[in-house]
């Protein structure tokens, strides 16, 4: 499912209007009519209202005038509060406002905060239509619109957002100061990035996307969006082929470099997850001090001891890792490694000299802090980083709150700047590629917020890379499979107490589910 930015949606709009000759007023009429229909279907029990339409000065408000006219025509008691100077309303919105007034619609122009509060008190709406801002929101919301948003959120009424909850940036899901908390959002043509990426996704309520008549076919390729939502259909398209006649070398050999005293489980989980991802061979290389433990923990995966001091890998391990990498198709680096100066040097050496596909997670990411320059020194070979918001915050020197407020743009820009695939974990994990493509994952549940689940994801990504999966596809497919595995666990026993080991056992079932047409 493609996800549009504001600019990409405007371009599609312009294509329909300027190139195809479809009048904007027709699109607006279609948009408003679809919204009105959805309201009447969903909230019949609220008939005849009162309904308050809160309209801004642009075309989002224009949709609101169409909705007000149609609902009033069907007997609803509708009042439209216009938070704009009538002189400044133009184009299709002005046309629809004029038609609404010609039809006897109750329209009140509001320029004063006190009067707005008073009107809301008087009207006591059962339904509120948020037609304040849509894809045209361009900055922090202040003043009268901000008061309107607060009133909409305080009201007991059901709130239906037109196109987007006002305050959500369509292009990245950022909140522009304040935001409407909608029960339902009716959007047009395609979902926007802001509907699916958090934090915006948290305010959308139930999302309904309706066709307003922009032809889907023949859209110029330069107008097509760069973002996609990963659903089962997209995940299915990313699954690597599996030849019927194969030997264990066919499905690749993953090298996992991980573990340290007290963190041997991370290495084992990554190794097991890789095997459950369909990878042919897995070697888990660990500090010699903990090698015996991994020998016991792991059965199907091979293990190799590496030079260490007090359980932490040293630079002396580098040559052995390079030797092992020569007979592997991918390398997963980081789970449970811990941190030291020697490990930082080792990581830099491996990142800059090994050119096989590489996924770095957990302590591997912490070891990158302060030496991101080594990413651009990397000669060749895809590199996937998989930070959670805390690790991302350390990598870029921001607070977790700042990361979470601006996830989409930060992930996309980081991937491009450092020429890596960035998987930024979260309720809606983002996978960004250096060329600007972005996937947003929608599978999963909060059962994933438990120790070890990240190690499973790392092993899953590494296993898919070793099977020859394209790196952007491997990170995207792994994110979806990881979330889907959590959904399957929860189907039987909820999300509380979900363990990483349970996720691993579900991976083959998820893979089988994807194999079914």
Ligand X SMILES: NC(=O)C1=CN([C@@H]2O[C@H](COP(=O)(O)OP(=O)(O)OC[C@H]3O[C@@H](n4cnc5c(N)ncnc54)[C@H](O)[C@@H]3O)[C@@H](O)[C@H]2O)[C@H](O)CC1
Output 508-512 pairs: Cβ under 8 A, ≥24 positions apart. 508/276, 508/278, 509/485, 510/481, 510/484, 510/485, 511/239, 511/277, 511/278, 511/481
Q: Find the binder of ligand X among 74, 99, 119, 136 (CB under 6 A).
A: 136
Could you tell me which stretch among 128-136, 309-317, 340-348, 447-455 binds ligand X (CB under 6 A)?
A: 128-136
338 binds ligand X, rule: CB under 6 A: no
Could you tell me which stretch among 106-114, 131-139, 275-283, 461-469 binds ligand X (CB under 6 A)?
A: 131-139
Under a CB-based contact definition with an 8 Å cutoff, are residues 462 and 454 in contact? no
Closest contact distance (angstroms) between CB of 8 and ligand X is: 10
Could you tell me which stretch among 110-118, 156-164, 279-287, 356-364 binds K ion (CB under 5 A)?
A: 156-164
282 vs 302: CA distance, rounded Å: 6
Could you tell me which stretch among 126-134, 238-246, 454-462, 490-498 binds K ion (CB under 5 A)?
A: 126-134
Other CB atoms within 10 Å distance of the CB of residue 17: 17
Which helix (H) or strand (E) covers residue 268, if one does? helix 264-276
Find out whether 380 is annotated in a ligand binding site. no
User: What single DSSP character describes residue 282?
Assistant: E
231 vs 442: CA distance, rounded Å: 7
Q: Find the binder of K ion among 5, 30, 59, 166 (CB under 5 A).
A: 166
Q: Find the binder of K ion among 130, 169, 189, 391 (CB under 5 A).
A: 130
Q: 95 or 479: whose CB is closer to ligand X?
A: 95
Q: 110 or 279: whose CB is closer to ligand X?
A: 110
CA 446-450-454 angle, 5° bins = 100
Site string for ligand X, 17-56 (x = CB under 6 A): ----------xx--x------------------------x
138 binds ligand X, rule: CB under 6 A: yes
Where in 484-503 is the site for ligand X (CB under 6 A)?
none
Q: Find the binder of ligand X among 57, 253, 407, 418 (CB under 6 A).
A: 57
From the list 354, 335, 350, the residue with the least C-alpha distance to 287 is 335
3 state DSSP class of 374: helix
End-to-end Cα separation, the chain, in angstroms? 18
Beta strands at 78-82 and 106-109: parallel, antiparallel or unpaired: parallel
Closest contact distance (angstroms) between CB of 149 and ligand X is: 11
136 vs 324: CA distance, rounded Å: 54
Q: 184 or 384: whose CB is closer to K ion?
A: 184
Q: 76 or 188: whose CB is closer to ligand X?
A: 188
454 vs 386: CA distance, rounded Å: 9
Q: Which does 221 bind (CB under 5 to 8 A by kind): ligand X, K ion, none?
A: none
Q: Which does 166 bind (CB under 5 to 8 A by kind): K ion, ligand X, none?
A: K ion
From the list 280, 278, 353, the residue with the least C-alpha distance to 315 is 353
Closest contact distance (angstroms) between CB of 159 and ligand X is: 15
Q: Find the binder of ligand X among 3, 9, 22, 71 (CB under 6 A).
A: 9
Q: 162 or 176: whose CB is closer to K ion?
A: 162
The DSSP annotation for 454-491 comes to: HHHHHHHHHHHHHTT--HHHHHHHHHHHHHHHHHHHHH
162 binds K ion, rule: CB under 5 A: yes
Q: Find the binder of ligand X among 97, 162, 298, 431 (CB under 6 A).
A: 162
Find out whether 363 is annotated in a ligand binding site. no
Q: 133 or 408: whose CB is closer to ligand X?
A: 133
Sign of CA dihedral 54, 59, 65, 71: negative
Find out whether 314 is annotated in a ligand binding site. no
Q: 129 or 285: whose CB is closer to ligand X?
A: 129
Q: 34 or 161: whose CB is closer to K ion?
A: 161
188 binds ligand X, rule: CB under 6 A: yes
Q: How far is CA 335 from CA 254, 275, 305, 469, in A?
A: 14, 16, 16, 21
Q: Find the binder of ligand X among 11, 50, 60, 78 (CB under 6 A).
A: 60
Find out whether 499 is annotated in a ligand binding site. no
Q: 144 or 162: whose CB is closer to K ion?
A: 162
User: What single DSSP character describes residue 381?
Assistant: S
Q: Name 108's bridge partners.
A: 81
3 state DSSP class of 54: strand
Find out whether 163 is annotated in a ligand binding site. yes
From the list 167, 201, 202, 159, the residue with the least C-alpha distance to 184 is 159
Q: 26 or 356: whose CB is closer to ligand X?
A: 26
Under a CB-based contact definition with an 8 Å cutoff, are residues 152 and 54 in contact? yes
49 vs 57: CA distance, rounded Å: 24
Site string for ligand X, 194-233 (x = CB under 6 A): ------------------x-x-------------------
Under a CB-based contact definition with an 8 Å cutoff, are residues 271 and 38 in contact? no
Positions at the binding site for AMP: 425-429, 454
Residues that bind ligand X (CB under 6 A): 9, 13, 27-28, 31, 56-63, 133-141, 145, 162-163, 176, 188-189, 212, 214
Q: Which residues are annotated as a binding site for K(+)?
A: 60, 130, 166
The binding site for K ion (CB under 5 A) comprises: 130, 161-162, 166
């Amino acid at each position: 499912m493609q996800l549009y930015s504001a600019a990409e949606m405007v371009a599609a709009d312009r294509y329909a209007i300027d190139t195809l000759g479809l009048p904007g007023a027709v699109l607006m009429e279609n948009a408003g009519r679809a919204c009105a229909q959805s309201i009447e279907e969903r909230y019949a029990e609220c008939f005849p209202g009162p309904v308050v339409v809160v309209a801004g000065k642009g075309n989002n408000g224009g949709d609101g005038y169409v909705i007000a006219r149609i609902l009033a025509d069907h007997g609803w008691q509708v009042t439209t509060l216009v938070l704009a100077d009538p002189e400044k309303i133009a184009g299709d919105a002005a046309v629809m406002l004029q038609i609404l007034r010609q039809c006897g619609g109750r329209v009140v122009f509001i320029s004063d905060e006190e009067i707005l509060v008073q009107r809301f008190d008087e009207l006591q709406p059962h339904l509120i239509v948020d037609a304040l801002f849509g894809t045209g929101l361009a900055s922090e919301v202040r003043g009268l619109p901000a008061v309107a948003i607060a009133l909409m959120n305080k009201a007991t009424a059901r709130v239906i957002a037109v196109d987007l909850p006002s305050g959500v940036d369509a292009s990245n899901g950022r909140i522009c100061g304040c935001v409407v908390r909608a029960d339902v959002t009716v959007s047009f043509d395609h979902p926007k990035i802001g509907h699916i990426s958090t934090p915006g996704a948290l305010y959308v309520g139930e999302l309904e996307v309706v066709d307003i008549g922009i032809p889907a076919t023949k859209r110029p390729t330069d107008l097509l969006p760069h973002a996609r939502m990963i659903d089962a259909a997209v995940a299915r398209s990313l699954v690597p082929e599996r030849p019927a006649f194969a030997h264990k070398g066919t499905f690749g050999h993953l090298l996992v470099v991980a573990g340290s005293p007290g963190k041997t489980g991370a290495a084992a989980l990554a190794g097991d997850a890789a095997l459950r991802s369909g990878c042919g061979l897995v070697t888990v290389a660990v500090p010699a001090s903990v090698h015996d433990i991994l020998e016991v923990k792991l059965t199907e995966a091979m293990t190799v001891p590496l030079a260490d001091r007090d359980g932490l890998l040293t630079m002396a391990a580098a040559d052995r890792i390079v030797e092992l990498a020569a007979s592997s198709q991918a390398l997963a680096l980081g789970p449970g490694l811990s941190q030291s100066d020697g490990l930082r040097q080792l990581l830099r050496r491996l990142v800059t000299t090994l050119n096989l596909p590489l996924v770095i997670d957990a302590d591997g990411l912490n070891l990158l802090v302060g030496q991101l320059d080594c990413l651009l020194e990397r000669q060749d070979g895809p590199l996937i980083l998989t930070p959670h918001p805390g690790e991302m915050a350390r990598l870029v020197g921001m607070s977790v709150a700042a990361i979470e407020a601006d996830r989409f743009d930060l992930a996309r820009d980081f991937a491009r700047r450092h020429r890596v695939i960035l998987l930024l974990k979260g309720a809606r994990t983002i996978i960004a590629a250096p060329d600007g493509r972005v996937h947003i994952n929608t599978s999963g549940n909060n059962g994933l917020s438990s120790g070890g689940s990240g190690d499973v994801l790392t092993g899953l990504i590494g296993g898919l890379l070793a099977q020859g999966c394209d790196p952007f596809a491997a990170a995207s497919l792994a994110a979806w499979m990881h979330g889907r595995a959590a959904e399957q666990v929860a189907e039987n026993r909820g999300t509380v107490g979900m363990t990483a080991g349970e996720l691993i056992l579900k991976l083959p079932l998820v893979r089988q589910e994807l194999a079914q047409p």
